[in-house]
Amino acid sequence: MTNTPFKIGIVGCAGRMGRMLVQEVLATPGAVLSGGTEPAGPLVGTDIGLLVGAKTIGVPVGSDAAQLFAACDAVIDFTVPAATLYHASLAAKTGKVLVIGTTGLGADVLAAIETAAKSAPLVYAPNFSIGVNVLFALTEKLSSTLGPDYDIDILEMHHRHKVDAPSGTALGLGEAAARGRKVKLADVARRTRDGQVGARAQGEIGFATLRGGDVVGDHTVIFAADGERVELTHKASSRGVFAKGAVRAALWARGRKAGLYSMRDVLGL
């Protein structure tokens, strides 16, 4: 490892997560913030420091992601799927580290991520908090230990602005539960229930979504059997936990060979 500061860029730097990421990079020893982007508009040209406080840092918000990739060692992306698709193509072209937190990704973006991972180190996680990643591991373990007599449902709640449902984390928990049972989530997932849906089928993994207020992210995995219920719950009270995990992932990916990594790899779980 070298002592040269690691240059990190934040695409979507004025978003809710973008601002947390800017603060986290500025507070991380060994990392420097070398730029950030937003789509063309009034924010472009603003000093990034002013997005998170009253101090300028001499780095303006840009709108050219290709330029940002050229100037950085790593880029962190918590934006929207269409932007992530483009950023994955830039990682493929430049071989730079790309950390992706955007959720609600379609098959086209997931395919672009797989392709980019052939020529660049990518870390993709539906949730960068350490607590949630421990929850993934516990969910898989409980699902395999408790067996098919326990009905599994995943309940999540997020703030009123969230646009995708169920959350990427809830789907990740569903994947973990399915892995524990050695089945494919797509074959057993019940993403909504509304009206005369009939009795619950055995082996189903259900999802329930709540939206409201400023809830940062609550997830509960419920294992319900006759006579008892086990519930695993995680509640995030600050977006700072995701930013901390994402910056840690970027530093971890420094110097790694091309590939698609997860927070499990970063945390060694």
Asked if 83 interacts with ligand NAD (CB under 6 A), we say yes
Using CB under 6 A, pick the residue from 16, 191, 211, 254 that binds ligand NAD: 16
User: Which residues are catalytically annotated?
Assistant: 158, 162
Using CB under 6 A, pick the residue from 23, 28, 103, 220 that binds ligand NAD: 103
Beta bridge partners of 223: 152, 230
Residues 194/185, Cβ–Cβ less than 8 Å: no
Residues 107-166 that bind ligand NAD (CB under 6 A): 125-128
Helix crossing, 16-27 with 240-253: angle to 10°? 60
Is the bond into 42 cis (omega within 30 degrees of 0)?
no
Asked if 60 interacts with ligand NAD (CB under 6 A), we say no
Residue 171 to residue 213: CA distance in whole angstroms = 22
Nearer to ligand NAD, 78 or 223 (CB): 78
Instruction: Please give the distance of CA 60 from its chain centroid, rounded to a whole number.
Output: 25
Beta bridge partners of 122: 98, 260
Residue 27 to residue 244: CA distance in whole angstroms = 10
Nearer to ligand NAD, 181 or 239 (CB): 239
Residues 237-256 that bind ligand NAD (CB under 6 A): 242
Asked if 15 interacts with ligand NAD (CB under 6 A), we say yes
Using CB under 6 A, pick the residue from 23, 28, 34, 102 that binds ligand NAD: 102
Residue 217 CB neighbours (<10 A):
23
Asked if 73 interacts with ligand NAD (CB under 6 A), we say no
The residue ranges that bind ligand NAD (CB under 6 A) are 11-12, 14-18, 37-39, 78-80, 83, 101-104, 125-128, 242
